[in-house]
Amino acid sequence: MRISDFDFHLPEDRIALRPMQPREAARLLRVDGDNLTDAQIGDIGGFLRPGDLLVVNDTRVLPVQLHGRRVREDGGVALEATLIKALDGARWQAFLKPGRRVKSGDRVTFGDATCDLQADVETKGNDGVYTLAFRHTPDVVLERLHTIGTMPLPPYIRSKRREDEQDKTDYQTVFAREEGSVAAPTAGLHFTTELLKRLSAQGVGIEHITLHVGAGTFLPVKVEDTDDHLMHAEFGVVSADSAARINAARAAGGRIICVGTTSLRLLESACDDQGVIHPFAAETSIFITPGVRVRSCDLLMTNFHLPKSTLFMLVCALAGTDIMKLAYAHAIATGYRFFSYGDACLLTNTSR
């Protein structure tokens, strides 16, 4: 399929720079075939029934955005780093900006005299990814990230404003407990403790799985054909207990509702051809495009995604390309907010 088949025009003012407050005041577009219903996140219980099971991603975002300097005898230069993948506790892959001012063997330092992180640039890859070897133990690296690091906001937000302390709260879901992500599973940002209590009282269950979201979720698709796209890998875990509870909920007649594309991609990686979920603990680079059956869930709650992105391709696979183009046109025309801090939609899986 051509990447251009998944393009659409999105006005700049539809990109949300801050989340709605309270979170459940964000809008929710229910998409059930070509039936579109406008609602709010707080109304989601009206679309669910007792016995349904929400499957959520409980990964926790690390504050991996760092500001510092390249240090050389001939002088320093201001530097910004986004850590994107831990190779071990003290070595990380990273994007550096401005990368053209950095080479292998350079020393970089982040923070200040009261709290700093120092690293050596080990390698500079052709893909623009650097390997940094921190001069600290893994525990110290994590501790200081939480002190001097900021949240790694997506490029389409950071191009319009700088990250700040409020993002440390805003860019973390209520489910977050397993540290390891460098991007938020953004559909989960809409939930509050109060909303979860109401859903529980309604008989809707919650099941936690973990997919550590990588920076690849932000990378643009640079090929012309989906067959040529190399999907990034992310590490995920579905425990034996979680798999058993998900299978039991479906066997009892409940529907499986994935909260976010990360939850869906992980369940699809863990299920067989009959949609039965099995324990899973590995990296997944699954790429879901139209024509691929989504076997693991009945509904998907997700935010509104970028044109020509792998995430928009995924929702087209789940709900139908024509349906999603209709839904997105409606969302744009009626003022829905897009991307990580934006509104959400609840989609029926028509691919099974």
CATH of the domain at 123: 2.40.10.240
Q: Is 163 domain-assigned?
A: no
- Contact between 229 and 309 (Cβ < 8 Å): no
Asked if residue 294 and residue 191 are part of one domain, the reply reads yes
113 and 221 share one domain: no
Report pTM.
0.94
190 shares a domain with 322: yes
Looking at the domain assignment, is residue 154 inside a domain?
no
Residue 162 lies in a domain: no
> Tens digit of pLDDT for each residue in 192-236?
999 999 999 999 999 999 999 987 766 778 888 878 777 888 999
DSSP 47-73: G--TT-EEEEE-EEE---EEEEEEE-T
Same domain, 34 and 79: no
The encoded tokens of residue 14 equal 């539809």
Residue 271 sits in a domain whose CATH number is 3.40.1780.10
Instruction: Give the confidence band of 50 by pLDDT, cuts at 50, 70, 90.
Output: very high
Each residue's pLDDT tens digit, 279-323: 999 999 999 999 999 999 999 999 999 999 999 999 999 999 999
Does residue 300 sit within a domain? Answer: yes
Work out the widest C-alpha separation in the chain, in whole angstroms: 69
Q: Do 128 and 253 belong to one domain?
A: no
Domain range for 213 is 3-61+168-348
Q: Are residues 287 and 140 in the same domain?
A: no
- Among the candidates 149, 176, 205, a domain finishes at 149
- Count structural domains, the chain: 2
* Distance from C-alpha of 317 to C-alpha of 293, rounded to nearest angstrom: 7
- On whether both 316 and 256 belong to a single domain, the answer is yes
The domain boundary, picked from 149, 183, 203, lies at 149
Higher per-residue pLDDT: 103 or 241: 241
Pair (46, 90) in one structural domain = no
Q: Of 146, 74, 142, 76, give the one whose Cα is nearest residue 109.
A: 76
Asked whether the beta carbons of 209 and 266 are under 8 A apart, the reply is yes
Give the residue from 122, 149, 176 where a domain finishes.
149
Q: How many CB atoms lie within 10 A of CB 241?
A: 10
Asked if 216 and 73 sit in the same domain, the reply is no
* Same domain assignment for residues 145 and 119: yes
DSSP 133-190: EESS-HHHHHHHHHHH-B----HHHHTTS---TTHHHHTS-TT--EEEESS--GGGGG
User: What size, in residues, is the chain?
Assistant: 352
Domain assignment present for 156: no
> Side chain identity at 194, as an amino acid letter?
E
- 16 and 144 in a single domain? The answer is no
Tell me the percentage of the chain whose pLDDT exceeds 70. 98
Residue 159 lies in a domain: no
Q: Tell me if 285 is assigned to some domain.
A: yes
What is the DSSP pairing of strand 234-238 with strand 205-211?
A: antiparallel
Asked whether residue 138 falls in the same domain as residue 111, the answer is: yes
